[in-house]
Amino acid sequence: MRPHPSREISPPGRRPLQLSQIGSHLFIITMLLLSLIPTYLLLTWSFKNGLQYRWERWTISLPLRWRNYGAAWEIIGDYMINTVIVAFVGLVGMLLLSLIGGYVFARMSFPFRETLYYAIIALLMVPWVLSFIPAYMVYVRLGLLNTRWALIIPELAGGPIFGIFLMRAFITGIPEELYESARCDGAGVLDLIGRITLPLALPGLATLAVLNFIGVWNSFLWPLVMIQDNEKQMIAVGLYKLARSATSAGFHGWTSQDFSVWGPLYAGYVIASLPLVALFVVLGKFYVEGLVDSGLKV
Amino acid sequence: MTERERVARQSNELQAQEEPIARHRSGGLPTTWQAMRKSWQAYALLMPIFILLIIFNYYPPILGLLRAFYRWRPGVEASFVGLQHFNVYFTSPETPRELLNMFKLLLFFLFTGSVVPFVMAELIFRIRSNDAKELYRLFLIIPMLVPLIVVILLWKQIYDPNLGLINGILEALKIEALSRNWLGDTASALYAIMFMGFPWVSGVGTLIYLGGLGQISVSIFDACEVDGCTGIRRTLQIDLPLVLGQVRLMTILAVIAGITSFQTILVLTDGGPGFATMVPGLTMFHKAFRTQQFGYAAAIGMLLFILTLAATLVVNRAVHPAVEETGR
């Protein structure tokens, strides 16, 4: 997904803007505005107090109530930290395994190379519904229930499946001469991986890292069944439980509901989105590639 | 994406050249065993990956296929029950309803996941101004910076009977008669779940289609222009056939999501009211984690696996990507 080269179909002499072009612009803008409605609601609601939420729900209320964010952090901060820890520990291992696997399959020749490679790639075809229930049982059997390892291992073991696919293609593109000259200098396999491949494979690794971070940040069903202690819970499940407790508090009818819970709740949603926003701002191109790859990963 | 395919193709060519050399280097016709001993380093480097994969990625699905025929729960010895789970599932009174729900969702996902993004991508692609194109792409991405669970919870709020946006709009338009508890009403709950994410344009799909359209060579469009093939005719006869690879991918993704996904339903309605929005995947989840029937759940998982496999094969057969014949 690189920005396409300019492909103006019309010859250099510009034609007047056609009616159909204006129509397209209007249609696209309408669609984009409609799809931004939830994001708009999220942002405005996050700055409201109870009264504002009750009486001016659809407009921006001033002054912005930043205090909601402090209150939200109190509640969801631990979930955020948990998720970041899990994501990073898993990420380091996953990237290492993907780099090594990608190198071995791209640069070394050995018997059964293709067989082993396709044995790994075949796992991409196994839908998660088939493994979800038995994987839970395996993790229970290994005593991993309600531990952080239960969250890290899927990233560590499952991540390199797509990672090796991606890194093999990437590393094959590195010119052989670089490896030749390094070998002449007496470099071993680990040097070839660490000194030659790693620096050149960084863009591929960045895509992979972003892809996996998005995956961990969004992971919901697995931590929901794996983690019982709130102190170890991940952000997505944390938000879900928080929303449930907020809505069930108003179960007895909305008039008795305490509207002041909503502002901090939505502020929490915004805070939970910030790492993804930051990732996009810092690694824009890789973020988009990661998104697209997450589609390919099924 | 196609960039990557090209790299992969190059790599295959490289390997084709490398292989005979490698064989030659190891001297005449070595036995496989000798060659394997020689490349011990490669195996040693792959060892950690394969140990992890065997325990956590190969073993569970195989175990699942076996345990579909067992009574199974944590801490209890599994006992063989044959086809009992399948019998129970297919004779259960809720099953037709949830299969129908799944089918409806699947059809709708085909529309929202495959058709809508193509239309959006095509429109953006046809925009002449490159600045506008880039801006639209950026705005497509913004909604994707919000975690999925937040999106679902926001939509739950949008459907809320008292505080929700939809009833709010109906109130403002003075047609309150139409307002209802969208997710709590048997008649509307499933459609409310489908409608979530409206207008379904911002997602990976549009980006994937845009990528595919961007790979078509300019000369083709020039030729079209000369031949007077423009507008909707070009879309149908040129653009669509040349992104059939992407169409196939998005169709397969939509089909798999339609058959297997239940996270949204779990959060929005949990299958309710009653069984109005139940789907097989959610039944699997409930049976395993609420009533501890893991064997039964594994059997449903196996059925869903077979369904996705069959559907994927059908789509693969039905959609043949066209090959661009002119050189790039």
ipTM of the complex: 0.88
Find chain B residues with C-beta within 8 A of A239's C-beta: 147, 149-150, 153
Q: Lowest mean pLDDT: which of A261-270, B31-40, B281-290?
A: B31-40
Domain boundaries, chain B: 2-83, 89-318
The one-character DSSP state at B80 is E
A43 to chain B, any CB pair closer than 8 A? The answer is no
Give the chain B residue nearest A100 (alpha carbons). Answer: B45
A91 to chain B, any CB pair closer than 8 A? The answer is no
Is residue A85 a part of any domain in this protein? yes
Dihedral sign for Cα atoms in the order A78, A83, A89, A92: negative
Give first-to-last CA distance, chain A, whole Å: 18
Q: Is B92 left (phi over 0), alpha (psi -120 to 50) or beta?
A: beta
Q: Lowest mean pLDDT: which of A39-43, B25-29, B193-197, B291-295?
A: B25-29
Is residue A24 a part of any domain in this protein? no
Decide if B113 contacts B107 (C-beta within 8 A). Answer: no
Give the chain A residue nearest B21 (alpha carbons). Answer: A109
Q: Number of Cβ pairs closer than 8 Å across A and B?
A: 276
B166 to chain A, any CB pair closer than 8 A? The answer is no
pLDDT tens column, B39-70? 888 999 999 999 999 999 999 999 999 999 99
* Domain with A87 in it: 67-296
Residue A10 pLDDT: 46
Q: Above 50 in pLDDT, residue A116?
A: yes
Question: Domains in chain A: how many in total?
Answer: 1
- To the question of domain B89-318 being in CATH 3.90.1150.10, the answer is no
- How far apart are alpha carbons B212 and B1 in whole angstroms? 8
Instruction: Give the Cα-Cα-Cα angle B151, B157, B162 (nearest 5 degrees).
Output: 170
Q: Lowest mean pLDDT: which of A49-58, A251-260, B32-41?
A: A251-260
A110 → closest Cβ in B35, B56, B145: B35
- How far apart are alpha carbons B257 and B274 in whole angstroms? 23
A128 to chain B, any CB pair closer than 8 A? The answer is yes
If pLDDT is split at 50, 70 and 90, which confidence band does A183 have? confident
- How far apart are alpha carbons B122 and B216 in whole angstroms? 12
Q: Which two tokens stand for residue B35?
A: 């060659």
Mutate to test the interface with B, among A35, A138, A155, A244 (most CBs of B within 10 A): A35
Is residue A43 a part of any domain in this protein? no
pLDDT tens column, B69-127? 999 988 888 889 989 999 999 999 999 999 999 999 999 999 999 999 999 999 999 88
Q: With both helix axes pointing from N to C terminus, report the angle between A67-107 and A113-121 in degrees, rounded to the nearest 10.
A: 160
A123 to chain B, any CB pair closer than 8 A? The answer is yes
> Is the peptide bond between A127 and the residue preceding it cis, with omega within 30 degrees of 0?
no
- How far apart are alpha carbons B22 and A47 in whole angstroms? 66
Instruction: Give the Cα-Cα-Cα angle A234, A237, A239 (nearest 5 degrees).
Output: 105
Mean pLDDT for B172-186 is 87
Q: Lowest mean pLDDT: which of A7-11, A63-67, A150-154, A284-288?
A: A7-11
Portion of chain A with pLDDT greater than 90, in percent: 54
Is residue A255 a part of any domain in this protein? yes
pTM for the structure as a whole: 0.87
- Helix or strand holding residue A132 (H, E): helix A128-141
Residue A21 pLDDT: 86
Contact across the interface for A111 and B39, Cβ inside 8 Å: yes
B207 → closest Cβ in A6, A36, A292: A292
pLDDT, greater one: A252 or A236: A236
- How far apart are alpha carbons A148 and A156 in whole angstroms? 12
- How far apart are alpha carbons A69 and A274 in whole angstroms? 12
Give the chain B residue nearest A242 (alpha carbons). Answer: B153
CA distances from B44 to A45, A151, B25, B36 (A): 55, 26, 21, 11
Q: Above 50 in pLDDT, residue B326?
A: no
Report the gap between the CA of B49 and the closest CA in chain A (Å). 7
A134 to chain B, any CB pair closer than 8 A? The answer is yes
Backbone angles phi, psi at A106, to 5 degrees: -90, -30
Backbone angles phi, psi at B76, to 5 degrees: -120, 140
Contact across the interface for B139 and A294, Cβ inside 8 Å: no
Beta bridge partners of B76: B73
Find chain B residues with C-beta within 8 A of A220's C-beta: 148-149, 263
Report the gap between the CA of A57 and the closest CA in chain B (Å). 8
Give me the CATH number covering residue A111.
Answer: 1.10.3720.10
B298 → closest Cβ in A108, A134, A221: A134
B198 to chain A, any CB pair closer than 8 A? The answer is yes
B168 → closest Cβ in A58, A116, A130: A58
CB-based contacts of B263, cutoff 8 Å, min separation 6:
A220, A221, B148, B152
